Every structure is written in structure tokens, then in C-alpha cells.
Structure 1
Amino acid sequence: MNDSLRAEPEPSASSSPVTGGDKGVSVVERQWQSVINLGPAETPLHTQQLRLTVAAFNVLADGLDVNGQWSYIDPATVTFERRKDLLLQEIDRIAPDVLGLAECNNFTEFWAPELARRGYHGVFQPKSHGPAARFGAQPDGVALFVRTAAGLELIGEPLRNAMRPVAISALVRAGLTAESTINKSSTPAMTSSPAFLFRVAMTHFKAGKGDSNTALRRQDTQMLLTQLDAAAAAAESEVQATIVMGDFNCEPTEDCHAPWRERGFLCAVEDMPWTTWKFRDTPTEPGTAPPPGTAPLTQPKEKREKIDYIYVLNGPGAQVAVEAFLDVPADADIPRALPAPNYASDHLAVAARLNCFTAPLA
């Protein structure tokens, strides 16, 4: 999709200011961008509407933050203790109905209770070899939360995968009545039936450049699709939509996206130009040992890429349209890449507002 399909930006996502964090810093301003013609229009056969806000956020694991080899950043300024309030600010201003976290640790001590206070229930899957554990922190993994305060609930046991690709997926049910709405400011009228049933998966693919890592991400994609197919075959009821989101660690041109498109998945954040932006110190002469008693020579290396995504697939009797996505902040508002004093991760949260249409109520 190109810029000609964008509508004028909506009011800032931080139009209701949230403050706090390190010395009262507020999270950087971002705009919701309305989307035109990305998904079906309402038709007589699809008149019942459910509005959902979904988000995926790589929150930069405790332990990986101070050991990130950042250029221009004092590690003492990016500890989890100093970042956690800003992370919550980003979630609060999005107010997602469904939230996925990558590089999540401190789940029991921090994320579960903090999000429970905000009306969420969540499940967590650590990686089998979470890299944060190398630095004495808890193993990181992926988490999935639904906003029970807005009438959503997890159904049955989630499917978990601790190996590649680390993932957690679950069935989610939302009560549905004519013109029911779930969003950050309202709770839908709930009935025992009908309901909108959808499956959500949160994942984190293998990182790294080169052909071998590209091949591993393609394998990650195929394995996750196989798991979703098996879950669908075993389910008692057909889902009306499937949402897959997370840190895919691959740019839009990489072929790990092809299987999603071939299956009919729609990218809800198609127009986001980037999702991670960082400078890291890298050796000027890789593979060369420095003289004894001296530090290796390094230089800043910039990485500004789009590697986080939300994919949506229609199920039988339903259609999903993307209403808006949360755009990137202005470059002038980020002092020098991420993490920044006003943004607490090296990844932006990706978020989309979805309109879900189903067959009319009997």
C-alpha cells in the first residue's frame, strides 16, 4: 500500500497525556493513521461489527538492556527499573484489547500484576534458552494478554512453543451483539451467544543477517503455520479470524513473508516505514583480536528496519478490515535512535485498530 491510501492523521495517541517514568518523562508522541480500502467494506451479509485494538511490543528484556552494546547510550540509563514506567505508558496510551509482548521477562513479578491492575489477563512462554539469562536475568520469552475488563476471555489452554519459533497462541472469545464495540473507552454488552471467536499468536523469530538465518526464519514461519493448522483441525469450532503478530526479525523483502501472503493474511501495519532503530558499537575489524591490554576498536553501526508485524486472516463467515495503525514518531522527537529518554525500548510497539464483520444475528 502507498501513501495515497492514507487518510489524514487522527489526533495524537497521547492526546490524553500519561506521565511518569524517569524524572517525569512522557512517552514520545505518535499519531494514529487512518487506513483507506485495506479490507472489506460493510455489506448486507456482514453487518455485525466488533472493533478491536491489537498491539505487539518487543519491550527489550531486563538484562539485554544494559548489555546492548549501544552507541551513545550510558547503560545505567536503560536499566529495566528506569524504563518500566515508560513501557507502561506506551501500553496505556494504545489501550489494546489484545497485547503481545516479546523479550518479556519479570512476568510474575511485574508484567502480570501491572497489567492485571489495568484489566488484563495474560499467559507467558519463556524461551528454552532465553538470552537474557546469560546476564543473570530471568529468561525472556513471549506473553499474550487479553483485556478481560472489556469482555474478552481466553478459551482453554494456550498452545506453547519454547523452542524455535518461540510462540504462544490462544483462542479468544468476545461477546457480540449488534453494533457492539470493544475499545479503550467502552465495554460491549455481553451475551451468552453469539460470540466472535478468534485465534491470536505472539511470536519472536530468529535474529541475525545472512543466508543461514534467513533460512531459519523461513523454517520458523512454516513451523508456526503448521502449528496453527493443527490447532484449527483440532478445534471444536471454526475461528472467525486469526491474528499473528510479533518480532519477525525480517524486513518486508525477505521471503519469510511469502507464506503468510500466500495464505491470504493481511499485514495490518503495511505502511509503517520502520519498527526498530538503533546504533550499536561493532568491531571495526571483525575477527581481529586487539593488542593485549587494549579494548577492541569499534564504530557505531545503525540499524533502522521494519521487522515487527501484525498479520490478520479472515475466517468463515467473517471479514476483518484495518481501520488505523499507530505510526512512527517524528525523527525530530527521538534524540538519537532507540532506546531514548522518551521511549523505553529499541522497538516501537506496533498497533492496529480492526473492524470485524460477521453474519447478521438471527
Structure 2
Amino acid sequence: MDQKTTGLRENYGHRRQPALGKAMPVTALLLNLESNPLDYSRSDNGAELLEEDDKPPQFFGVTDEPPSPNEEDYKPPNHYEDDGKLAGDRHREIPCSNCLQTAPGHLTDRQSAINEMCQRLCGPECRRPQGLTLDGVRQDFLRQYEIAEAVAKTSAMTSTVQMKQRLAARKLEFEKEMEMDEQRGVASPRIDINLGQSSSAAATGMGEFEFEPPRDLLLYLVRMGSFNSAPKINNVDSQDDGLVLPAGLSTPALLQHVQQLRGGGIEQPSLLTRGFLKPLLADEDVADGLRCLKLNSVSRVCSAPVEGDDIRLLQWNILSQTLGQHNDGFVRCPEEALTWEHRKYLIVQEILQNQPDVICLQEVDHFKFLQTVLGSQNYAGIFFPKPDSPCLYIEQNNGPDGCAIFYKRDKLQLQGYDTRILEVWRVQSNQVAIAARLRMRSSGREFCVATTHLKARHGALLAKLRNEQGRDLIRFVKQFAGDTPLLLCGDFNAEPVEPIYATILGCDLLRLGSAYADVKLDREEILHPSEDVGEFVAKSMKREPPYTTWKIREEGEECHTIDYVFYTPDRLKIKNCLDFPAGEQIGKNRTPSFQYPSDHFSLVCDFELLPPTENGKEGGSGSGSDGENETEVEGSKHGAIQ
């Protein structure tokens, strides 16, 4: 490759890379065409040449160039030799042999390329004299062809324009399947949430029909490399190897230090300030609430850590540096505000000023930096990357992005953890989850925390894929956590109206509630929800915050709720949640910005870990079941742990 070409490629982000024609094999997959050498034989040796505009479409292998009509060996398909009029006369009066079912067997085969092309070319006037009605099959092929055309126009995974084209193709595929089901008298595909749901939910007919696309199509949809033609660049996490922090800094001192590093001697805009939903009264106990730290110029949002068996959880999609700077298309964000030098210290400030006990992060592609900075404040972390991260297809990446969990070592002890690549209909996707079992050092009580980042983008089929990922997540988390109190959080990339929300809240295996939806409810109402699962989910849906992400991309402004903290209400009491800044506070350019480093806002929740009930199965520190579980989890570890 010459130097000029190399220079060009270095300037391409993944979103800006040209198409390399990788979509064509999928076109063949959807058309399901098979080449037959006999289809190209011709008895008259091509003596009669057709007019340019009258030549029929030709079938050719997806890896070959189409044959040129001007070449001497050009031969149209067999079924045009029976009557020359069929090749160019639009007013066909004589049906072709294929429509009359008198053609050789290899041509009348339903999967034959010639048969497919015949159904596309031959109109009703061709078949009417013989009373043939193949319109349904013809329309089926036309729909397949339309899908293939849409798919063939797509290439890179996260290109905004091409993404819309690919989703249009998927929508066509989904609609076609539903039409076929209706023609066969089969119920339309429905979202199946029957994973131990209540009898009232089962009685509504949910899950009567399980729609499952072909495996090859699933691989194309849920895996990155299966349809990305860009070369993979396997860089490692090394961009922060030179980071050195003074030893022994307290949290306030560290925050002031990183603010100075961020400014580089120049005063920078302050981080967005936020308050909690339940402000403290002057005489309230600090352990029950939130006392602001006095950090001078540092943002005063933060509060004192909760005490005893209380847990403060921070959930946040911090925005992958590689994707945010080179791929995501934040058209209203200044370029300087997207640099890692600017963002990394704002990320640290947003996390540490809230002093969480547990930190759950997504889109982490600088784990070593967080490990160093948070490690100085006595946090330990677990990281699990995506198997085929989109970061790896972008120049100058810092390794794959993934999910991470950090926990405060002086308060919590890690009993074990497990990771999973989430599956969609038994096919591994490109999304991951981490689950960790933590033990309170003060009381010996245990709880589990799990985090995930589900597939992004809009569309009916994408919502279905997310729902299937959620079902697999439930199985994984339930098997790991058992009856232990659970905190399940992450970027689910789904608004509350999507099926995944009802799948999680309506599942009897876990019996979860949503922290932000429940924080203002009375405890009695939380513990005794409506017996009708649909009503329970609908009420929770309405109480969710109006947005957890607010950004402006090339295709427009997005403001919606897609991040959640789910919890077990009978074992954990929600006490407070960090509120979201108002629109005028965020600014007209939204996020990310100089005042906030991510396009998602952090979710911070305070929980009280309740003692087990009389029938509870949670054991103390000496429980044999805990030791058994620890051994099992330790044996299935993946990722890094400190």
C-alpha cells in the first residue's frame, strides 16, 4: 500500500470509512440463490443478440464481476430460447416454459436462480392464458429483492446514514416474516417474557409465539466483525501509562489535584452541579442522607458516604473515548471538549465527588487510568471487554471498550464474580455483563451487583434483540445471585416503553423494582405492588425520569431515558437518588460538553441493605453455601481483578 493511501486511511474514523463491499454475501443469503451451470447454456451459441434495453437481468456469483453484455460469450438464460418475444416484448401473450411448468426439473426448482428471475420478470399477462397465479410467490421474491437491495447499500456498523439503511432493511425483513405468519394463519411474533413471570402475565398470552430469525442473519445482526469490512487494529490500553499521582491524597485533595491537571493552569468551566431528590433537613442524621463536601472551587454536588449497611451505587456510561471522538457524531460538541485530556479528569471528578461504594461503568476503554486513580482512593475493579468492540476498527484506539465494576475495599469484600457474553437465541452477541458478589465487612451481609450495556440503535427488530439479551441477562444473574439481594444496572439502550423494561420488572425470577421510579413512593406501596403485572409495569414506566441522556447527533436531538438501576425491594430499601440537571443548566448544545464529559448522566442511588426475613435464605459470613458459591464463581472468572 503506497504512502498516499496509508495517509488517507489514517484520517478515516470508523464512521467515515468507505464501504468495501462486504454486504454482498448477505444479499445472497437473503435471496437464497444457488448457481446452476446448466442455467447458462444456450443452444444457439448466442447468435441472436438482444437490444441493450431488452436484455434480462443476469445472475452472477457475489464474489465475481457481472459478465459484460458486450462479451462474445454472453449467454442469456435458457427459458428465453423457447420464444424470442419473451426477451424483449413487453406485451407477452405466450407464457414461458417455466411458468407453464414444462421446463427441465433443475429450472423449476423453487431455489433455482432462473426460477426466481422468471418470477420477477414474468407478469400476470404471461400466466393468465393458462390460469396460473404465481403473484404471491412473485411478491415474496420482490420483497426479498427489496430487502437485499437495502442491505447491499450498507457497510460500516456505526455510520449514521448507512445505519438507517441497514435498519430499513431489517424492518423489511421483520415485516415480511410477520406477513408470512399471517398468511399461514400463525400468530404474529410477540415478545416472550415468560421467565418465571406471574400467572396474570402469562394469562395475557405473552410468549405464545417465539420468533427466531435464521442463525446466519442473527450472526450478521449481533456481531460486529460479521458485517464490518474495516481491518481490526488490536491496540492495548497504554495511553495513560505515564500517569503519576502524588501518594496519600485524600479524596478532596485528589479532586483539587485533578482539577488543576484538567485546567493546565487555565481556568475551565465547572462540572454541572446536581442535587438529590430528597434534600436533607438540617437536623437529619447524616447516615440517612447527603452532606455536601466543601471543596472550594470543586463542584459541590457531592455528599458524604453513607454508613453502616447502606450502599451508595453509581451507574454511568462514561462514553468510550475512541467512539465519542471519532465515531458518534456529536455535531454540537466542541472538538476540544471531546479530547481525553479534557474528559478524563471530569470523569474522575463526577465519580469521586459522590463517594460511591460501588461503581458500575459502561463504554470503558481506559480501564488502567480508572484503576490507577480510583485505586489511590482504595477502590478495586473488574473489567470485561466486548468480544468484538467497535473501538478496534478505529485508528489510534486504546483497546476494546467494555463494562467495569469498582468497589470500596475498606467497606466491601469481593466474594466472587462472573462475566458473560450475552446471547440472542443461543448466538453470542457483542454485548457483555459482569456480576459480583460483595460482602459488608461490618455485618457480614452479602449482596450482588450486576451491570451490562445492551445493543444500541432504534427499530423493532433491535428492540426484539435487546429483549432477548435481557432474557439471557436474567438467567445469568439469577444463576449467579440466587436469593441474594441484587442491584442490576446499566445502559439498556431502551426506553421504558420497550419490551426489555417489562421483561425485567415482570419477571418473577428476580422480582425487581426500578430505583428512580420508586424513590418517591411510600415503602408500603413498593412492597405491595399491583398484582396485575401490566399495571405494575405501566405505573413504574410513568415514574421514570424524563431523560438520562441528552445529546445532539447528525440525525438530530435525542433526549430519553435508557439507563436504569433495578433492585430487589424486599431486601433493599431505596433512600435517595441524584437528580438530573435541567435543560437550561445543561446548555443548548447538550452533552457531551466542556461541563460534562459524557452523553449519559450518572445515576447515583442510596440503598439500605435490610436484614433477611424469617424465610430468607441469605446466610452469614460462615454460611456453607457462600463458600460453595465463591469456589464456583472463582472457577469461572474472566477479565481483570485487582
CA gap 1:359/1:74 in 2 versus in 1, 3 angstroms: closer
Among candidates 342, 345, 349, match of residue 598 of structure 2: 345
Partner of 1:252: 496
Aligned residues: 293
Q: TM-score, normalised by structure 1?
A: 0.75
Give the C-alpha shift of residue 243 in structure 1: 0.7
Tell me the secondary structure at the aligned position of residue 250 of structure 1.
coil
Give the C-alpha shift of residue 158 in structure 1: 2.8
Partner of 1:140: 401
CA distance in 2, matches of 1:77, 1:268: 31
Among candidates 584, 587, 595, match of residue 332 of structure 1: 584
Among candidates 452, 473, 480, match of residue 231 of structure 1: 480
Residue type at the aligned position of 1:171: R
Unaligned runs of 5+ in 1: 1-13, 36-47, 176-189, 283-300
Partner of 2:436: 170
2:320–2:401: 8 Å Cα contact kept in structure 1? yes
Partner of 1:281: 554
Name whichever of 119-128 and 251-260 sits farther off: 251-260
Give the C-alpha shift of residue 214 in structure 1: 0.2
Partner of 2:512: 265
2:433–2:451: 8 Å Cα contact kept in structure 1? yes
Partner of 1:28: 272
Cα deviation, 1:181-209, whole Å, max 9, x if unaligned, reads: xxxxxxxxx3xxx4121111110000010
CA distance in 1, matches of 2:437, 2:497: 30
Among candidates 571, 590, 603, match of residue 319 of structure 1: 571
CA gap 1:26/1:118 in 2 versus in 1, 3 angstroms: farther
Among candidates 360, 382, 385, match of residue 126 of structure 1: 385
2:381–2:404: 8 Å Cα contact kept in structure 1? yes
- Are 2:418 and 1:158 aligned? yes
Give the C-alpha shift of residue 359 in structure 1: 4.5
Identity of aligned residues (%): 28
Tell me the secondary structure at the aligned position of residue 95 of structure 1.
coil
Pairwise CA RMSD: 2.7
Cα deviation, 1:9-54, whole Å, max 9, x if unaligned, reads: xxxxx9xx9645344432110011129xxxxxxxxxxxx9621110
Partner of 1:211: 460
Unaligned runs of 5+ in 2: 1-251, 280-306, 423-427, 518-543, 614-618, 621-642
- Are 2:320 and 1:61 aligned? yes
1:65–1:80: 8 Å Cα contact kept in structure 2? no
Give the C-alpha shift of residue 255 in structure 1: 1.2
Tell me the secondary structure at the aligned position of residue 455 of structure 2.
coil
Based on CA coordinates, which of the two structures has the bigger radius of gyration? 2
Name whichever of 322-331 and 153-162 sits farther off: 153-162
Q: TM-score, normalised by structure 2?
A: 0.43
Tell me the secondary structure at the aligned position of residue 269 of structure 1.
helix
Cα deviation, 1:296-336, whole Å, max 9, x if unaligned, reads: xxxxx00001000000015xxx6211111111112222222
Partner of 1:304: 559
1:252–1:307: 8 Å Cα contact kept in structure 2? yes
CA distance in 1, matches of 2:356, 2:583: 25
Residue type at the aligned position of 1:302: E
CA gap 1:111/1:104 in 2 versus in 1, 3 angstroms: same
Residue type at the aligned position of 1:135: I
- Are 2:447 and 1:195 aligned? no
2:384–2:404: 8 Å Cα contact kept in structure 1? yes
Partner of 2:353: 93
CA distance in 1, matches of 2:308, 2:462: 41
Give the C-alpha shift of residue 232 in structure 1: 3.9
1:202–1:244: 8 Å Cα contact kept in structure 2? yes
Residue type at the aligned position of 1:107: F
1:49–1:358: 8 Å Cα contact kept in structure 2? no
Tell me the secondary structure at the aligned position of residue 599 of structure 2.
coil
How does 1:38-77 map onto structure 2 within 5 Å? 50-67=309-326, 68-77=328-337
2:272–2:581: 8 Å Cα contact kept in structure 1? yes
Among candidates 607, 625, 642, match of residue 354 of structure 1: 607
Residue type at the aligned position of 1:161: I
CA gap 1:49/1:112 in 2 versus in 1, 3 angstroms: closer
Partner of 2:200: none
Residue type at the aligned position of 2:591: L
CA distance in 1, matches of 2:448, 2:337: 38
CA gap 1:329/1:85 in 2 versus in 1, 3 angstroms: same
CA distance in 2, matches of 1:59, 1:359: 34
Give the C-alpha shift of residue 350 in structure 1: 0.9
Judging by fraction of residues, say which structure has more strand.
Answer: 1
Give the C-alpha shift of residue 111 in structure 1: 1.2
Tell me the secondary structure at the aligned position of residue 438 of structure 2.
strand
Cα deviation, 1:271-291, whole Å, max 9, x if unaligned, reads: 422111111113xxxxxxxxx
Tell me the secondary structure at the aligned position of residue 577 of structure 2.
strand
CA distance in 1, matches of 2:444, 2:515: 23
CA distance in 2, matches of 1:32, 1:232: 29
Residue type at the aligned position of 2:568: L
Tell me the secondary structure at the aligned position of residue 333 of structure 1.
helix
Residue type at the aligned position of 2:436: A
